[in-house]
């Protein structure tokens, strides 16, 4: 049996002696070095106090271009809850992702100032004051021209976010979910206010004029509640059921989504129950035969180049996630969204300012 030649071994040994941080990709090498120099804990993956994707924590609005925000909201979920813990779980797993996008090589921290705003500290327990508090905060983000990656928390949160971000120009939407979330009042005679819950955010957003239904695509809709979404169909949203999604194939769906969204501002919202519960068990509302985690990533990657101004990941319920599998996948998908936000902002604006960590 021939041995590996001394010449080759010599070369392999030289390469083997090279420290990991001396990687060939110079941009990747530079960002890891810079993060470490500025005090980010890039070598320890067990730090539970780290910011989302290792972004520095800050509540100083003027210091951010892109804000990562946790919204620990749990007010109207009917069963198997724990969405109030979703942002904590995602933040913990987010250390495994970034700072460089594996395919696009996007480095959000080198393009813009990304900050982790932390979890919103709700002043009150009830739904309406919480909705109001989210709206007031996102109005500040909108006024400062900040793009947001929000992690929930129940899906109701997307309504006040859209209300703030869509005030100037109505948004288009790419929405992955088992449910279209355009439901009406559950109890006949219920007033508009009480009908705000996690099955209705997009009905309220359309009614407020901040979401353009003709620029909306809803993907993965399925299950026993499918008959409750008349509002989506009647207002011209494109509803792609999970069955239709599987028949069409992901590339045809992406093509259609891009046509529907066009050039206008687009918001991406992922409800974790849109993803098949085999991949994503951490949901209060498991609906089988959904969109795979992999196809969800394909859809996100297919959105590159669109004018994306905000994104969120909703309804992660860590109590149903004993291995952390769901939080891990949620963090992976949300990093795709962070890169989309950075890339879109880079298309819109020439202004650049890097993220910095304090020592």
List of residues contacting Mn ion (CB under 5 A): 155, 177, 181, 271
Q: Which is nearer to Mn ion, 272 or 328 (CB)?
A: 272
Q: Which is nearer to Mn ion, 177 or 212 (CB)?
A: 177
How near is the Cβ of 22 to Mn ion at its closest, in Å? Answer: 45
How near is the Cβ of 338 to Mn ion at its closest, in Å? Answer: 21
How near is the Cβ of 142 to Mn ion at its closest, in Å? Answer: 22
Q: Which is nearer to Mn ion, 271 or 321 (CB)?
A: 271
Count of beta carbons in the 10 Å neighbourhood of residue 329: 23
Q: Which is nearer to Mn ion, 85 or 177 (CB)?
A: 177
Residue with tokens 């989309």: 340
How near is the Cβ of 333 to Mn ion at its closest, in Å? Answer: 15
Residue with tokens 């979404």: 229
3-class secondary-structure state, position 217: strand
The torsion angle over the Cα atoms of residues 263, 177, 279 and 286, rounded to 10 degrees, is 180
232, 225, 178: which is closest to 206 by C-alpha? 232
Q: Which is nearer to Mn ion, 106 or 296 (CB)?
A: 296
301 φ/ψ angles, rounded to the nearest 5 degrees: -65, -30
How near is the Cβ of 322 to Mn ion at its closest, in Å? Answer: 23
331 φ/ψ angles, rounded to the nearest 5 degrees: -65, -40
How near is the Cβ of 334 to Mn ion at its closest, in Å? Answer: 16
According to DSSP, residue 79 is labeled S
- Find the residue with minimal CB distance to Mn ion: 271
How near is the Cβ of 199 to Mn ion at its closest, in Å? Answer: 7
Give the CA distances from residue 359 to residues 34, 36, 37, in Å, rounded to whole numbers and listed in that order: 11, 9, 8
What is the C-alpha to C-alpha distance for residues 353 and 62, in angstroms, rounded to an integer? 12
Q: Which is nearer to Mn ion, 99 or 160 (CB)?
A: 160
Q: Which is nearer to Mn ion, 108 or 318 (CB)?
A: 318
User: Do the beta carbons of residue 313 and residue 69 sit within 8 Å?
Assistant: no
What is the C-alpha to C-alpha distance for residues 243 and 222, in angstroms, rounded to an integer? 8
What is the C-alpha to C-alpha distance for residues 137 and 120, in angstroms, rounded to an integer? 9
In the chain, what's the furthest Cα-to-Cα distance? 84
How near is the Cβ of 155 to Mn ion at its closest, in Å? Answer: 4
User: Do the beta carbons of residue 292 and residue 275 sit within 8 Å?
Assistant: yes
Q: Which is nearer to Mn ion, 106 or 326 (CB)?
A: 326
Burial class of 68 by CB neighbour count within 10 A (0 to 12, 13 to 18, 19+): buried
């Amino acid at each position: 049996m021939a041995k590996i030649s001394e010449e080759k071994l010599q070369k392999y040994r030289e390469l083997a002696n090279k420290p990991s941080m001396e990687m060939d990709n110079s941009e990747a090498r530079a960002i890891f070095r810079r993060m470490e120099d500025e005090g980010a804990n890039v070598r320890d993956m067990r730090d539970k106090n780290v910011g989302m994707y290792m972004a520095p924590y800050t509540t100083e609005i003027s210091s951010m271009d892109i804000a990562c925000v946790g919204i620990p909201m749990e007010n109207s979920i009917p069963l198997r809850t724990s969405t109030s813990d979703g942002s904590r779980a995602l933040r913990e797993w987010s250390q495994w992702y970034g700072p460089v996008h594996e395919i696009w090589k996007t480095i959000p921290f080198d393009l813009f100032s990304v900050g982790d705003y932390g979890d919103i500290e709700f002043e009150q327990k009830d739904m309406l004051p919480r909705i109001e508090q989210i709206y007031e905060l996102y109005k500040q983000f909108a006024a400062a021209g900040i793009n947001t990656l929000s992690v929930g928390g129940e899906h109701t949160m997307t309504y006040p976010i859209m209300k703030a971000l869509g005030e100037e120009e109505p948004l288009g939407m790419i929405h992955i979910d088992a449910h279209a979330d355009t439901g009406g009042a559950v109890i006949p005679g219920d007033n508009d206010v009480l009908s705000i819950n996690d099955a209705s955010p997009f009905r309220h957003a359309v009614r407020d004029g901040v979401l353009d239904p003709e620029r909306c695509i809803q993907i993965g809709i399925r299950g026993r509640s499918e008959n409750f979404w008349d509002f989506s169909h009647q207002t011209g949203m494109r509803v792609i059921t999970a069955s239709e999604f599987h028949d069409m194939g992901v590339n045809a769906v992406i093509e259609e989504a891009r046509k529907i969204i066009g050039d206008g501002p687009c918001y991406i919202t992922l409800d974790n129950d849109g993803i098949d519960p085999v991949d994503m068990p951490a949901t209060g509302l498991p609906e089988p035969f959904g969109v795979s985690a992999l196809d969800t990533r394909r859809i996100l990657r297919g959105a590159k180049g669109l004018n994306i101004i905000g994104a969120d990941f909703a309804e992660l319920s860590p109590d149903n996630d004993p291995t952390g599998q769901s939080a891990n996948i949620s963090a992976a998908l949300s990093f795709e969204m962070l890169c989309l936000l950075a890339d879109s902002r880079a298309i819109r604006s020439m202004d650049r300012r890097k993220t910095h960590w304090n020592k």
